[in-house]
Copies of this chain bind each other. A is one copy, B any other.
Amino acid sequence: MSMFLRRVLASGASKRAVHAPVRSFSHDAKRNAAFATWNADDKRFFEQLLRPEAVLTDLDDTASYTTDWLKKYKAHSAHQMVLKPKTTEQVSAILKYCNERGLPVVPQGGNTGLVGGSVPVHDEIVLSLGSMNNVLSFDEVSGILVCEAGCILENLDNYVAKHGYMMPLDLGAKGTCQIGGNVSTNAGGLRLLRYGSLHGTVLGVEAVLADGTVVDALSTMRKDNTGYDLKQLFIGSEGTLGVITKVSILTPPRSSSVNVALLGCEDFESVQKAFVEAKQHLGEVLSAVEFLDRQSLDMVLSQQDWTKDPLESSYPYYLLIETSGSNTEHDMEKLEAYLESAMTKGMVVDGTVAQDAVQARKLFMIREDITLALSQRGYVYKYDVSLPISQYYDIVKDTRDRLEEFGAKVVGYGHLGDCNLHLNVSTLEYDERVFQALEPFVFEWTSKYRGSISAEHGIGTHKPEYLHLSKEKNAINLMRQMKQMMDPKGILNPYKVLPETSA
């Protein structure tokens, strides 16, 4: 999806989304009356603490911080402040002050999230980490990188590439998103299948708690069993338990050989079998198993500059297989053996293998262009779920049946290798009936099979009211206790992640 975000940002196509009415109870939450409102004295304090240029209050200056990039979520208040600290000490002083004053704060990285987690709901102060963007150290032997939270993911990837390494995560927003935001939201993306989640690859964080306390859990060790693994508290908690200021992360060696194949399958059972076969044959070089249905491909063909099918015939299901390794010849040999086996066994009916990097890029762009094609067509209802592999496609079928009468197009695609499905519904204009038919239907369907209602995008303000469909009562209670313990005044990213207590 990397091309997508950059293209959208460049072309202004994102303006299409301005009309999007976001239905989010939490984003419509009433302002918490216990919070203070920042005033001229507060502003003066921050200007002295930082420097005047690091304190923004003009709406022209704050606008890009108080709306998300798709312009779906926008702060309700015109009383806005953005702070741009340069050091951990400044972050600590800001939070200590805000906690004492009862001023709520929204930590913000690249502001590329999809669930409204990084923008204020009302007049929360935006704490932008973007000015803390130094690489602090890189160990060429171990591949361990330590950097500040505001480093842009793509810059880090380029930095470690010079030493033969790569970042263990790659996602569409890489040119804009920041590593601190990635870690705070436990970003997934394309490399998760191979390198695992950030809960495993992040070795340490430095984080500032709501009261300004700096917690140094910035280990650079792969193995460290000394007490509770505190960094985990900050990975994926979306800035509600603390503000990540530094990150230590393990980077894997960069692959010199990358191959891509697009395969057509006749039924979803064959898709599953072809996936297992890929794991057996490609084993250690398998780096992505992406899925798209015919409807997704049709969407791309109808909206983009693709003149014809990538395969000779049309198939209901497609797999996009990527290998990454250290020896091109070996990898290609493995890929060919896999394809022969999968086709002999009838799991795969037809396929094409990219012969060079340009072709590989083109095949991958089919998958990446789905999102763009959808947004070009009209309004998109987006869902990001994890499901057991056997139910992975059933939800698409059921949703399609359910929406038939409204003429909505339902497409299914995603990271099959991680059981992560992007279920997207397209209508020419926003249609309330479609929305009503989708929510909570999709979440409840997912819940029935113990899936996740948010595989990689997080909860933000979009889904707190549905959290109970993925997490049971005792678990949510424990989350509340954690929040209460670490941020008793609730100043960190309020209205996000956890549902209102009355819910």
Q: Which residues of B contact A459 (CB under 8 A)?
A: 225-227
For the complex, is A283 an interface residue (Cβ under 8 Å from B)?
A: yes
The answer for the CA separation of A219 and B419 in the assembled complex, in Å, is 12
Comparing A1-9, A12-20, A197-205, the segment that makes contact with chain B is: A197-205
Contact A185 B476, CB 8 Å, known A275-B141, A388-B220? no
Q: Digitize A481-503: 1 where CB-to-B-CB distance is under 8 Å, 0 elsewhere.
A: 11001100000000001100000
Look across to chain B and name the residue whose beta carbon is closest to the beta carbon of A198.
B200
* CB–CB A455/B223 < 8 A: yes
Count of chain A residues with Cβ under 8 Å from any Cβ of B?
94
Q: Digitize A295-331: 1 where CB-to-B-CB distance is under 8 Å, 0 elsewhere.
A: 0000000000000000000000000000011110010
Q: Which residues of B contact A233 (CB under 8 A)?
A: 228, 232
* CB–CB A225/B458 < 8 A: yes
Contact A223 B192, CB 8 Å, known A280-B326, A475-B215? yes
Q: Which residues of B contact A232 (CB under 8 A)?
A: 199, 229, 232-233, 235
Q: Digitize A415-426: 1 where CB-to-B-CB distance is under 8 Å, 0 elsewhere.
A: 100111000000
* CB–CB B279/A143 < 8 A: yes
Contact A222 B197, CB 8 Å, known A142-B419, A230-B478, A479-B227? yes
**Out of B390, B418, B474, which one reaches A222, CB within 8 Å?**
B418
Q: Which residues of B contact A326 (CB under 8 A)?
A: 280-284, 334
The answer for the CA separation of A387 and B282 in the assembled complex, in Å, is 34
Q: Which residues of B contact A67 (CB under 8 A)?
A: none
The answer for the CA separation of A196 and B222 in the assembled complex, in Å, is 9
* CB–CB B452/A224 < 8 A: yes
Q: Digitize A231-264: 1 where CB-to-B-CB distance is under 8 Å, 0 elsewhere.
A: 0110111000100000000000101000000000
Contact A221 B452, CB 8 Å, known A199-B199, A253-B280, A389-B142? yes
Comparing A83-91, A343-351, A464-472, the segment that makes contact with chain B is: A464-472
Look across to chain B and name the residue whose beta carbon is closest to the beta carbon of A187.
B225
The answer for the CA separation of A459 and B228 in the assembled complex, in Å, is 10
The answer for the CA separation of A324 and B235 in the assembled complex, in Å, is 31
**Out of B197, B201, B225, which one reaches A452, CB within 8 Å?**
B225
Q: Which residues of B contact A333 (CB under 8 A)?
A: 327, 330
* CB–CB A227/B467 < 8 A: yes
Q: How far is the CB of A469 from chain B (nearest CB, A)?
A: 8
For the complex, is A102 an interface residue (Cβ under 8 Å from B)?
A: no
Look across to chain B and name the residue whose beta carbon is closest to the beta carbon of A189.
B223
Q: Which residues of B contact A226 (CB under 8 A)?
A: 452-454, 459, 463, 467, 470-471
Q: Which residues of B contact A236 (CB under 8 A)?
A: 225, 228-229
For the complex, is A451 an interface residue (Cβ under 8 Å from B)?
A: yes
Q: How far is the CB of A286 from chain B (nearest CB, A)?
A: 9
Contact A222 B325, CB 8 Å, known A141-B389, A196-B196, A200-B200? no
* CB–CB B230/A455 < 8 A: no
**Out of B142, B199, B457, B474, which one reaches A213, CB within 8 Å?**
B474
* CB–CB A223/B386 < 8 A: yes
* CB–CB A196/B192 < 8 A: no
* CB–CB A216/B472 < 8 A: yes
For the complex, is A135 an interface residue (Cβ under 8 Å from B)?
A: no
The answer for the CA separation of A217 and B474 in the assembled complex, in Å, is 10
Q: Which 4 A-B pairs have the closest CB atoms?
A: A200-B200, A283-B326, A232-B232, A221-B386
Extra A-B contacts (13), CB below 8 Å, given A186-B225, A227-B467, A227-B471? A186-B229, A188-B225, A196-B200, A197-B222, A215-B478, A221-B387, A221-B451, A224-B455, A227-B479, A228-B236, A232-B232, A255-B284, A481-B486
